[in-house]
Structure formats: C-alpha cells, structure tokens
Amino acid sequence: MRVVGVDPGSVVAGFGVVDGTAQHPVLVAAGTIRVGSVKRGPARLNEIYRRLIEVIDHYRPQAMSLERSFVAVNAQSAFRLGEARAVAMLAAAERNLEFFEYTPAEVKMAVASHGRADKGQVKAMVRRALGLGAGFALEDDSADALALAVCHLIRARFDAAARGESEPACGRN
C-alpha cells in the first residue's frame, strides 16, 4: 500500500510518501512545500493545493493520512491550519484517494509506542522504521508527514487483523 502523509501548514507543509507494510515500510519520497510569505490568502492556498496535486500525481498513493485538528492557543493560527487541512482534503478528494485522520497521540503511539513522545523521539523512530541513516537530511515537517504515513500502515494492519483479514485494506475514514 502506498500512502502519502501530509503535515499541513499555511507557509510550510510537509509530505512523506511511504510504500509497503507496517513491518516493512519503504521511503518513496519526503519533502516540504514552501509557499513563503510572499503569497497571501487564496493565492497561498492555491499554491499548496497545486503542489500537493503534483505530489499525488507523481507518486500515485492510494491513501492520504492527515493529522486531525487540535485546539490551538492562537485562534488565527488555528484558522490558517484549518485552511491548509481543507486544501489537503480537497487534493485527496480530487484524486480519489482514501482519506484517514489520526490525532497526534495516535501517531506518536503508533510510531514511537508512547502517546506523549516528543518530536525528537518521533523523528528518531521514523528514521529507524524507514532505515534512514543519520546522514539523511530529514526536516521536521517531512518527518511529521512520514510519521503520519507510517502510522496509517500500522493502523491499517491492526484494523485488518480486527476484521480477520490477512492483508491491510484501505477503507476506514
């Protein structure tokens, strides 16, 4: 199964594409979409959307994994994050990807076996799961996106087992 994880942001959005299974995830691609502060409002969202569509079209994932919204201290930041999430959801819908959301605690639990793991621990476990050496440059935003993709592979495995299936299948939203 090929999954794209997206760490939405209104200035920098991370993406990570992972293929394989929970036991053998393989890195396909990771990166960031940087729209900077030059573009504002709808133009910025359009750029994020357009670049996500390019990632999806190039790597052809079957599913998208996105972090479920959380409550932010700053209302404006929460609105901007919501807009970026909506753009990612639209890109998934536009390309008929199955769509999955996970809370930060679910991602941390799946990847680091601890629901309160810090960013450093999650990043280290993503490196370990994907066999990435210390020399592989991994930005925080793309590490978070990869964690979302790996989380989905792990959750899909457990969901399949709960249904009595041997192979994970997309289908839970």
Active-site residue among 19, 47, 67, 144? 67
Tokens of 84: 């970026």
The CA-based angle 110-159-125, given to 5 degrees, is 15
Active-site residue among 7, 19, 98, 144? 7
Phi, psi of 25 (to 5 degrees): -75, 145
Phi, psi of 13 (to 5 degrees): -120, 135
Q: Taking the CB of residue 157, how many other CB atoms lie within 10 A of it?
A: 18
Tokens of 7: 């760490």
Active-site residue among 19, 47, 98, 141? 141
Task: Tell me if residue 139 is catalytic.
Answer: no
- CA distances (Å), origin 130, targets 9, 100, 123, 138: 24, 21, 11, 12
> Residue 79: what residue type?
F
> Residue 39: what residue type?
K
Task: Tell me if residue 67 is catalytic.
Answer: yes
Q: Which residues contact 108 (CB under 8 A, 6 or more apart)?
A: 114, 115, 116, 117, 121, 122, 147
Residues annotated as catalytic are: 7, 67, 141
